Amino acid sequence: MKSIQINGTARAEFGKKYAKAVRREGQVPCIIYGGGEEKAFTIDAKELNQLIYTPNSYIVELNIDGVVEKAVMREVQYHPVREQVLHVDFYRVQEGKPVAVNVPVRLTGNAEGVKIGGKLALSARKLTVKGLVEYIPDEIVVDVTPLKVGQTIFVGDLNVENLTFVTPATTAVCAVRVTRASRAAQ
């Protein structure tokens, strides 16, 4: 899995007043938890954009005042109108313990149903998987070649070695939809 480095500064003050002051300075209040301890810190908003506004999932190497910790981004809170990032939660990655991560889906192949006029639709752009960090892939590759018109691939149909899916097995990943052209071809 890809990793990214982000620098942070530890914070000792908490509360709404402090958080607003930090945001005015272009910083985002964050917290890292897991492993029995929590640590509050701030990150420059511009540095955080490379982590949030991307389709990829990353293991984040947080450098908080010289102490490097590996984590995954767990939750992001946004301002309801301005789309400004208000707060980010990170979960500490521990050796030998599984972690749940959203992994992007990539479709490969040319579906049989598309060849006769159907339309391929991707329903789930990311799937949540659980496993040890060293086994989590950069993306989940789904081969759509055998799909005919009206057929769907569900999460339960996928099998990735050393990982379990947290996303429900009944969730549709992709499907070939019926179109007028495909009805005429049948």
pLDDT tens digits along 102-111: 899 999 999 8
State mean pLDDT over 72-95. 89
β-strand pairing of 126-131 with 119-122: unpaired
Name the E strands within 59-177: 59-64, 67-78, 85-92, 99-108, 119-122, 126-131, 140-143, 152-154, 164-165, 172-177
pLDDT at 21: 87
Cβ count near 111 (within 10 Å)? 23
User: Phi, psi at residue 20, to the nearest 5°?
Assistant: -65, -40
pTM metric for this prediction: 0.80
For the domain covering 3-94, report its CATH number.
Answer: 2.40.240.10
Quick check: 185 pLDDT over 80?
A: no
Query: Model confidence over 86-124: pLDDT tens digits?
Result: 999 999 998 889 988 889 999 999 988 888 888 899 999
What topology does CATH give the domain 100-185? RNA Polymerase Alpha Subunit; Chain A, domain 2 (2.170.120)
Residue 126 vs residue 13, higher pLDDT: 126
The residue among 74, 6, 72 whose CA lies nearest residue 41 is 6
CA–CA distance, 32 with 69 (Å, rounded to integer): 9
CA–CA distance, 182 with 186 (Å, rounded to integer): 6
